[in-house]
Structure 1
Amino acid sequence: MESLRRVQQMLIVLIEVQRWPTLLSPSEINQVAARLGHIGDFKDIKSDGYLVEALVHLWDPICSAFRLGKREMTITIEEIAGFLNLLIQGTAVIFPLVSNKVEFCHFTGLKELAVRGSDQRIEAKFLFDRFALRDGFERHLGDFSFTSKEMWERKRAWVYGLVMAGTYFFPRKDKKIAFKVAKILYDLFLGVKDKQCSIILTILADIFVACITCQRGEKFFCGSNLILHVWGMEHFMRRSFIPESLPMSGYNWIVTHHKTVNRNSLPCNASEFVDFLKNKTDQNARWVLDWTNCVKPVLRTKASEFVLLLGTQGITAYTPKRFLRQLGRTQEVPPAFDVSEFTIIFNEGTCPSEFPMKDRIIEAWVTLSDDECFKYVPKLKQKGLTTPQYEDWVRKSAAQAPQDELVEEVKKLKAIIEARDKEILQLSKSVETHKGIAEQNKQLHENEREKCQELKRKCGELYDQAEHVRIPYARETRDSVLDRLRNFGNVVRNRLRDMM
């Protein structure tokens, strides 16, 4: 059994984040749900991380798909949109540009002095104490740039969405909330050019980029691992007795997820999950998820057969026509694109203000469209049908796969070596820095030791003089004694002045 590299994930949520939804009113919850889905219920999703580790191992960056034996599957725009009950069409694209402390404080209404010591991130508990608790405004009044309780009530829902999105959609290893999430939430709540925004594109892009970077050696999955976990469980571990006809619109799929999947016979580790997924037959996979809207899915854009995706961690793309079975259609031979050519990983997870393909991303998002050549047949949506031409194409692809796998393994090893070299270089710089600091500290210690020796010598001299002063001379007058004591006092003061 192949041993897989561990992928660190956001599996344990802070208690403050779990409590937060219970402290809000239904209107506040619904205000956030209209933009982020029922995100507060993500606390009920349980994952051990093994399925996501297996999916990362099976990820193919060339086609943005998980290769499960001869089967290709991926997480689609419609699957995320349906799971969160959010719109796709007619929405504006979000540009998750980096936000500094000033912009973060403008969004939250906090004073910059209150957010001290924060480097592009902030503790969730800090925000919980000021916005989640009912007396947070009164207890921390001095931390806000406003004095109106009404304004605090408005900001309260915004900050709740900020913390939930920063925890479940754009997690960090240190479990803090990144300032850049504030820009995303700002666009979601206020829109862009009077147009409502959608977070679907950003979530999907970060999941894809996280799969790529973890394959290259990154240790933490900087995407929504819980959404990817739910996606895999619903496709491959769904209970057979769940009814087919479930409500589509307005249904909370998050809280019912644990009822629809079978957790009794889960593989015990990531390696077993890989074998399980590779050996899963087409008949045992659930091709179309309950919440997937297959009526008018995104199959292309006006300009191309692939869809560019922009996230907080980078840019990538995928070709929807490779995954027609997940959209209730018969799978035909898909257009062949190496989407890895469009992949750009942002340095340190920071989206620059200017980047390649910006105009193409905007154009693509406003021209998302269906393709009438591929008909949707509801009765056949769970059959996972394919054309004979597709089967021939798959067989040829499978024959080419071993060579491609070797090439990919070489690329992965190169990426891992580069990541290790980068890590070693950073460690070397750190060692040099600390070495210089150590030399400075050593010199300071020597200087202090010399000063200490000098102080001891001077104190010894004062002690000797004090002994002489203490013993009076024979037949010494009182005035003479006082003069001698006065002179000794002056000597002591001068010595103390020298020591200071």
Structure 2
Amino acid sequence: MGNPRRVQQMLAIPVEVQKWPTLLSPSEINQVSTRLGPIGDFKDIKSDGYLVEALVHLWDPICSTFRLGKEEMTITIEEIAGFLNLPVQGTAVIFPLASDKVEFCRFTGIKESVIQGLDQNIEAKFLFDRFELRDGFEKHRGDFSFTSKEIWDRKRVWVYGLVMAGTYFFPRKDKKIAFKLTKIMYDLFLGINNKPCSIIPTILADIFIACSTCQRGGKFFCGSNLILHVWGMEHFMRRPAIPESLPMSGYNWVITHHKRIDSSNLPCNASEFVDFLTNMTNQNVRWVLDWTNCTKPILHTKASEFVPLWGTQGIMAYNPRRFLRQLGRVQDVPPAVDLTPFVIVFDKGICPKEIPMKTLIDEAWETLSDDERVKYVPELKQRGLTTPQYEDWIGRSTIQEMQDEPAKEVERLKAIIEARDKEILQLSKSVEAYKGMAEQNKQMYEGEREKRQEMKRKCGELYDQAERVKLPYARETRDSILDRLKSFGNLVRNRLHDMM
């Protein structure tokens, strides 16, 4: 299977972002938490990135699942929704169309002239100085397009949500806040057609896409690595707990995460995590997380067995019927669904203006449904039960996986090589461009040097003429001297004109 690749992640949170939640009032925090969950408390989640690297290594992009030895699992909508205490069903679909600087300025109230030169993103500190500090409005009054302190009070909550989401849910390698998130924030705070929106599908889609792109050679995990880290730790490194515990509405699962984790014997690197995960048994897994609402999960839509997901990086889908054990049900053989045709990764992470599969996604989210044929049995939910048919199916799948492993490894290496070839091609183009610029600069230098030599020669001529002017001729008349000086003046004027 090979060794897991190093994956860059958002691990060191900017100081301003960590400090920001402590400067807001409870009512302001509540305005954001009803839309983004207790996102300010993510600052207390610590990760070394190894578990995420291992999960990326074990990711199967065809089925949107992690292959853990003889088991398969994935992060589900219900798990993220429960962790953040946010609703999903009954909410409108967010289509995260890329916002530009104009829309960002309209959202924040920052004048466009203040952020000239910035096209795609902005430093969190810039927003912190203007919106979080209590004297931000008075100190930077000239930067805003509004003059009302009341408007600033409202927008500072919006900007706080934008910065938190851009850091913890949709991170960038440079730790800046992307303008393209502006529309998501608009939809979350204002709703769509009088319906509230949910950010859960967007978060899940970006996590799936990040796993796929990093496995193919991408260097930075462009999804919420902290949510994926928490998901893995809660499932695999959980301290013993009461099996009958139920999800508690309103409980802050984020800030209490560290209390539930057994950190006494964690793997020391990504390779050790891979070995640990691939050798797990059914009994080592906490199948249902404490916050997962198993009573009415999303298992399919009216039109299909898979659920489409729209993210900031592209479109993904997953088949919840493969992961019934995580929803407190007995796992049977899932419907065979190839999700590859429903995967679209946006070029440079920018959503196109023509929304692909928009109608399909809209209709799917209007018809989300449970499956009454698959019963929920609370007493059995932590046992991870399966049917004999499933065991036979997963056994054959595992054997097939082992047989296909060399071919998959070759494909993975090909993808990495292709990514490297693209990088080399880009570098070659950059080198050629710099060579062209260097040649132009050389020619300009040669031209300037010739001009300087010519100027030096002409200055020498002027110097010689000036020396002659100093010496009067014998018996030279006054008019003759004036004519000679006039001629010298004309010569100087002409030389200066040539030099300009």
TM range (shorter): over 0.9
2:311 aligned with 1:304, yes or no?
no
- TM alignment of 1:10-25, pairs within 5 A: 10-25=10-25
In the alignment, the residues of structure 2 paired with residue 234 and residue 382 of structure 1 have an alpha-carbon distance, to the nearest angstrom, of 13
- Matched residue, 1:269: 269
Structure 1 residue aligned with 2:387: 387
- Alignment map for 1:222-237 (pairs within 5 Å): 222-237=222-237
Could you tell me whether the CA contact under 8 Å between 2:23 and 2:132 is conserved in 1?
yes
| Match in the other structure for 1:138 | 138
The 3-state SS of whatever aligns with 2:114 is coil
Note closer, same or farther for the CA distance 1:241–1:300 as it changes in structure 2 (3 Å cut): closer
- Give the Cα–Cα distance (whole angstroms) in 2 for the partners of residues 64 and 254 of structure 1: 25
Residue identity opposite 1:175 in structure 2: K
- Alpha-carbon separation, structure 2, partners of 1:373 and 1:244: 23
Equivalent position of 1:5 in the other structure: 5
Aligned partner letter, 2:60: D
> Partner of 1:28 in structure 2?
28
Displacement of 1:161: 0.5
Q: Specify the alignment match of 2:313 in structure 1.
A: 313
Q: Are the counterparts in 1 of residues 244 and 378 from structure 2 also a CA contact under 8 Å?
A: no
Task: Name the amino acid aligned to 2:305.
Answer: E
One-letter identity of the residue aligned with 2:181: V
Q: After superposition, what is the alpha-carbon deviation per residue over 1:192-221, rounded to whole angstroms, capped at 9, x for unaligned? A: 111100000000000001111111111111
The answer to whether the 8 Å contact 1:68/1:278 transfers is yes
Partner of 1:458: 458
The Cα of 1:2 is off from its aligned counterpart by 4.1
After superposition, residues 110-259 of structure 1 pair within 5 angstroms as: 110-240=110-240, 245=245, 248-259=248-259
Q: Cα gap change, 1:396/1:247 in structure 2, threshold over 3 Å: closer, same or farther?
A: closer
Whether 2:42 is the aligned partner of 1:42: answer yes
Task: State how far apart, in whole Å, the 1-side matches of 2:263 and 2:477 are.
Answer: 103
CA distance in 1, matches of 2:247, 2:37: 16
C-alpha change, 1:304 and 1:246, in structure 2 (3 Å) is closer
Equivalent residues of 1:244, 1:290 under 8 A apart: no
How far apart are 1:474 and its partner, in Å? Answer: 4.8
Q: In the alignment, is the contact (CA less than 8 A) between 2:3 and 2:271 conserved in 1? A: yes
Cα gap change, 1:390/1:241 in structure 2, threshold over 3 Å: closer, same or farther?
A: closer
How far off is 1:414 after superposition? 2.7
State the one-letter code of the partner of 1:356: P
Question: What is the distance in 1 between the residues matched to 2:246 and 2:320?
Answer: 25
**Contact (CA 8 Å) 2:317, 2:339: kept in 1 or not?**
yes
- Residue of structure 1 equivalent to 2:326: 326
Q: Which residue of 1 aligns with 2:109?
A: 109
- The answer as to whether partners of 2:244 and 2:379 remain within 8 angstroms in 1 is no
Instruction: Name the counterpart of 2:495.
Output: 495
Gaps of 5+ in 2: none
Q: RMSD of the alignment, in Å? A: 1.8
Asked if 1 retains the 8 angstrom alpha-carbon contact of 2:10 and 2:172, the reply is yes
**1:78 and 2:78 matched:** yes
SS at match of 1:67: strand
Cα distance between partner residues in 2 of 1:484 and 1:215? 85
Deviations 1:202-247 (Å, cap 9, x if unpaired)?
Answer: 0000000111111111111110000000000111111125786366
> What is the alpha-carbon distance in structure 2 between the residues aligned to residue 29 and residue 483 of structure 1?
88
- What does the per-residue CA deviation read over 1:425-445, in whole Å, with 9 as the maximum and x for residues that have no partner? 222222222222122111111
User: Does structure 2 conserve the Cα–Cα contact (< 8 Å) formed by 1:100 and 1:179?
Assistant: yes
Residue 397 of structure 1 and its aligned partner are, at CA, apart by 1.2
Question: Which 4+ stretches in 1 moved above 4 angstroms?
Answer: 241-244, 472-487
In structure 2, the residue matched to 1:89 is 89
1:369 aligned residue: 369
Q: Distance in 2 between matches of 1:49 and 1:234?
A: 15
Q: Which moved more, 1:192-201 or 1:15-24?
A: 15-24
SS of match in other structure, 1:114: helix
Greater Cα offset, 347-356 or 183-192: 347-356
Cα distance in 1 for partners of 2:405, 2:27 equals 51
Secondary structure of the corresponding residue to residue 113 of structure 1: helix
Counterpart code for 1:318: Y
What do the CA deviations read for 1:298-336 (whole angstroms, capped 9, x no partner)? 111111111111111111111111111111111111111
- Mapped partners of 1:348, 1:226: distance in 2: 22
Mapped to 2, the partners of 1:433 and 1:391 lie a distance apart of 58
Distance in 2, Cα, partners of 1:68 & 1:304: 26
- Asked if 1:287 is matched to 2:287, the reply is yes
The answer as to 2:405 corresponding to 1:405 is yes
Cα-to-partner distance string for 1:51-70 (whole Å, 9 max, x where unaligned): 00000000011211100000
Gapped regions of structure 1 (runs ≥ 5)? none
Contact 1:234 1:261 in 2 (8 A): yes
In the aligned structure 2, how far is the partner of 1:263 from the partner of 1:244? 23
Aligned to 1:418: 418
Amino acid at match of 2:125: K
C-alpha distance in 2, partners of 1:149/1:246? 44
* Cα contact 1:242–1:260 (8 A) shared by 2: no
Deviates more, 1:360-369 or 1:488-497: 488-497
Structure 1 CA distance for aligned equivalents of residues 496 and 203 of structure 2: 68
**Cα separation, 1, equivalents of 2:476 and 2:136:** 77
Per-residue deviation at 1:356? 2.9
Percent identity, aligned pairs only, is 77
Q: Is the 8 A contact 2:247 2:293 kept in 1?
A: no
The 3 A distance-change label for structure 1 pair 139 and 477 is: farther
User: What do the CA deviations read for 1:116-168 (whole angstroms, capped 9, x no partner)?
Assistant: 11121111111111111111112222221111111111111001111111111
Question: Could you list the per-position Cα deviations for residues 46-99 of structure 1 after superposition, in whole angstroms to 9, with x for gaps in the alignment?
Answer: 111110000000001121110000000000000000011100110001001111
Q: Pick which of 241-250 and 87-96 moved more.
A: 241-250
1:338 matched residue in structure 2: 338
- Counterpart CA distance in 2 for 1:19 and 1:370 is 41
CA distance in structure 1 between the aligned counterparts of 2:215 and 2:247, rounded to whole angstroms: 37
Moved more, 340-349 or 429-438: 429-438
In 2: Cα distance, 1:499 partner to 1:23 partner: 63
Q: Please give the secondary structure, in 2, of the residue aligned with 1:226.
A: helix
Paired residues of 1:204 and 1:309 also in contact (CA < 8 A): yes
Task: Write the deviation string for residues 91-117 of structure 1: whole angstroms up to 9, x where unpaired.
Answer: 001001111111111111111111211
Task: Find the aligned partners of 2:303 and 2:241 in 1 and give their Cα distance.
Answer: 43
Task: Tell me the SS of whatever aligns to 1:334.
Answer: coil
1:266-309 Cα deviation digits (max 9, x unpaired):
11111111001111221111111111111111111111111111
What code does the residue aligned with 1:173 have? K
Paired residues of 2:83 and 2:291 also in contact (CA < 8 A): yes
Could you tell me how far apart the structure 2 residues matched to 1:244 and 1:263 are?
23
The letter for the 1-side match of 2:90 is G
Residues 104 and 179, structure 1, Cα contact 8 Å, conserved in 2: yes
Q: Is the 8 A contact 2:294 2:376 kept in 1?
A: yes
Range that drifts further, 408-417 or 154-163: 408-417
Deviation (angstroms), 1:406: 2.9
- Please give the alpha-carbon distance, in whole angstroms, between the structure 1 residues aligned to 2:52 and 2:242: 24
